[in-house]
Structure 1
Amino acid sequence: MSRAFKRNFLQHALAVRRWCERHGASGGIDPFSMSMDLALGGKQVRFRPQFVVEPVPGQIGFVPMLDTGVAGFVGWFPYGGKAWPISQDKLVFKQFARDAGLRVPMAGLDATGIRGPYIVKRRKSTLGRGLRGPYPAGHAPALVEDEYWEQFVPGKMLKAWFWDAEPVVVEVIDLPTVRGDGVKTMRRLIEDQLPPGAPFPEDVDGLAAWQGLTLDSVLAAQRSVIADYRYMSLLNPATASDHDVRERIRGTSLEAQLREAGERCWMAIPQEIRDGTMFSIDGMVDPEGNVWFLETNCNPQLHPAVYAAMLDGVFGIEDSGGRK
């Protein structure tokens, strides 16, 4: 059985079907483009698909057409694609977020700003590729073009999807770990958790070194260590099952932090394309419950649970709170 959840076409189709049943909507899917047409109350809207491709095992990208090489489905959008400055450059986002009063990790190009463990990232979205580290503060980063350093914040991975300023789906996930048995190496324990045939994660030797290990170290029995820190990691359990906690965080500090971030980031979208936009925000939640915001994404992989809010918004249906 497939491990995919968010990339499973059937999960997306089921979510749309349930919405159509609730509201009496009708529609169909174009077999050539896989675009979806929905009609309700005299209004018809075409939703455009987004697919995932894997040109090299473990390295993915998103494309708008169904063709040879497509490895999964990542959602329908009611528009052909949008982009804006803070969604296209992670350092631009961090400066914006800092100015907006949001908590962000220290980051930059100048090594003199480093005060603790850090990782190296690319400024453009790479879907989890090209990350290196974490490195100790005394280790000066050797940055190449388009790279920057970013403070490493241990905690839980966070990804939240927003329809306009409203957080509609939220994932909060423990960093993937492996537990020692006194016999197997860290490398072998990681391999045992990967799907069959999956490539070994990139650059986890730095993560092992940060924990005082090598990938060939035998882990003591019951010792638990972090195995990856990338959201797109195949070790992330949210790749295989639903981890939406949106309802569970209502009334919490986490919800308040996400609402503030969503409002700030939504207002940063140019006014002419702002209304009716789906975007996501990534972050880390530290042990005290503080969110450290990392980046925002303009055309993200969709969680199937986003459709209720997105379709309500597109067709002008008010929810129980009176929001359209």
Structure 2
Amino acid sequence: MASYKGNLLNHFKIVKKWADRAGADAILDVSSFRLLIRRNDQQAVLYPQFMNVEDRRRQYSPELTDASRRFIGWLPYSVRRWAIASDKIEFKRYAERAGMRTPEYCLDDDPAIRDVIVKRRSSSFSVGIRGPFRHAGEAPLDASQSEYYERFIDGRIGKIWFYENFPICMEIERMPSVTGDGMLSARDLIQVKLRAKGATGFDMERAETLRRFCGDSLERVPARDETVVVDFRYGSALAVREPGQNINLKKAMPEVWSDELRAIGEACWRGIPAEIQEGTIYTVDVVVDPEERIWALEMNSNPFVHPFLYGHLLSNLVKRDAAERVRH
């Protein structure tokens, strides 16, 4: 089952629903995929983003080219970047100053540190992540890759979308897993699930490292209906798709997280340069631990846009256009 935001029609459906309700026109330029929103004498342009794949490397781009493999949503601007969304360590330092909960980290080799994963300061799409390891000494840092240690937090993995300081929606999912049948090893269960999904490129060595961290092995045969966690990355090929993973926070803010989500939004928005704060969309990657505490991992500018954002985004765009016309 594809993710909700990965379905192109969900983007069109929500834009259409807003346009019908607002009495607006939504006009798509197929050559550029730019979207013109027009209501009476008000208008705004949304700029597309695409996931391009070249030499097996994924990157986001505002241009539709032969390398484009997936549409990843519209933004009210082309590209915006800022420091704490470009460097994971800068984000973690900012998060600590702002009072956000973020996993402990270390930039130096220290074999005494326990229960860690290894990350790179500026990588995307989980590139270069290693672990988890019980002891940092199992995985010396590679200074040439700007690696660092981060405390591994067990729990559900998630991504939160913000418009300025407002939490708009959230994806939350269990760590990727396979389910035992009492006959196949965990390794074989992974292969079966990958074939069923038509997925490639899964890092079996990382799965083995995770199972070893848990005192287990991919060679063990799990009991029937036993859940075996085999990855910890958001967007894994083995992600478990379930109802309720896409939460519209504007309609149904979970009470257990409401104060924390709003505080994260306020803090992150203040970390964006003032000249680009207005109308900026960003995401924060998180882990929700068994005690329902949210741990902020990193911040992303120019993210894959969740369709739940469009209602809030478009309403604010037309209001802003009207206000600017009044001023001029």
Answer yes or no: same fold by TM over 0.5: yes
Change (3 A) 1:113 1:310: farther
Partner of 1:273: 276
Q: Structure 2 CA distance, aligned partners of 1:290 and 1:193?
A: 31
Structure 1 portions without partners, runs of 5+: 318-324
Q: Structure 1 CA distance, aligned partners of 2:252 and 2:298?
A: 21
Runs of 4 or more consecutive aligned structure 1 residues displaced over 4 Å after TM superposition: none
Partner of 1:163: 163
Q: Structure 1 CA distance, aligned partners of 2:136 and 2:11?
A: 47
3-state secondary structure, aligned to 1:68: coil
The 5-angstrom pairing of residues 172-183 of structure 1 reads: 172-183=172-183
Q: Structure 1 CA distance, aligned partners of 2:243 and 2:293?
A: 25
Q: What amino acid is aligned across from residue 22 of structure 1 in structure 2?
A: R
1:219 pairs with 2:222: yes
1:44 pairs with 2:46: no
Segment drifting more, 270-279 vs 123-132: 123-132
Change (3 A) 1:223 1:7: closer
How far residue 115 of structure 1 moved from its aligned partner, in angstroms, is 3.8
Change (3 A) 1:93 1:265: same
The 5-angstrom pairing of residues 128-207 of structure 1 reads: 128-137=126-135, 139-144=137-142, 145-194=145-194, 195-202=196-203, 203-207=206-210
Change (3 A) 1:138 1:124: closer
Partner of 1:321: none
Q: Structure 2 CA distance, aligned partners of 1:177 and 1:93?
A: 29
Q: Is the 8 A contact 1:141 1:149 kept in 2?
A: no
The 5-angstrom pairing of residues 83-98 of structure 1 reads: 83-98=81-96
3-state secondary structure, aligned to 2:137: coil
Q: Is the 8 A contact 2:159 2:286 kept in 1?
A: yes
Structure 2 portions without partners, runs of 5+: 321-328
How far residue 265 of structure 1 moved from its aligned partner, in angstroms, is 0.4
Partner of 1:109: 107
The 5-angstrom pairing of residues 246-261 of structure 1 reads: 246-247=248-249, 250=253, 252-261=255-264
TM-score, length-normalised on structure 1? 0.90
Q: What amino acid is aligned across from residue 295 of structure 1 in structure 2?
A: E
In percent, how many aligned pairs have the same letter? 33
Q: What amino acid is aligned across from residue 273 of structure 1 in structure 2?
A: I
Partner of 1:262: 265
Q: Structure 1 CA distance, aligned partners of 2:8 and 2:256?
A: 34
Segment drifting more, 209-218 vs 266-275: 209-218
Partner of 1:312: 315
Q: What amino acid is aligned across from residue 9 of structure 1 in structure 2?
A: L
3-state secondary structure, aligned to 1:32: coil
Q: Structure 2 CA distance, aligned partners of 1:108 and 1:221?
A: 40
CA distances 1:79-126 after superposition (whole Å, capped 9, x unpaired) = 011011100001110010011111110112123386431111111141
Q: What amino acid is aligned across from residue 20 of structure 2 in structure 1?
A: E
Q: Structure 1 CA distance, aligned partners of 2:309 and 2:179?
A: 34
How far residue 249 of structure 1 moved from its aligned partner, in angstroms, is 5.5
How far residue 241 of structure 1 moved from its aligned partner, in angstroms, is 7.3
3-state secondary structure, aligned to 2:135: coil
Q: Structure 1 CA distance, aligned partners of 2:33 and 2:123?
A: 25
Segment drifting more, 106-115 vs 182-191: 106-115
Q: Is the 8 A contact 2:111 2:137 kept in 1?
A: no
Q: Is the 8 A contact 1:5 1:241 kept in 2?
A: no
How far residue 5 of structure 1 moved from its aligned partner, in angstroms, is 3.1
Segment drifting more, 190-199 vs 244-253: 244-253
Change (3 A) 1:130 1:253: same
Q: Structure 2 CA distance, aligned partners of 1:20 and 1:117?
A: 49
Q: Is the 8 A contact 2:111 2:136 kept in 1?
A: no
Q: Structure 2 CA distance, aligned partners of 1:217 and 1:96?
A: 42
Q: Is the 8 A contact 1:114 1:151 kept in 2?
A: no
Q: Is the 8 A contact 2:109 2:136 kept in 1?
A: no
Q: What amino acid is aligned across from residue 9 of structure 2 in structure 1?
A: L
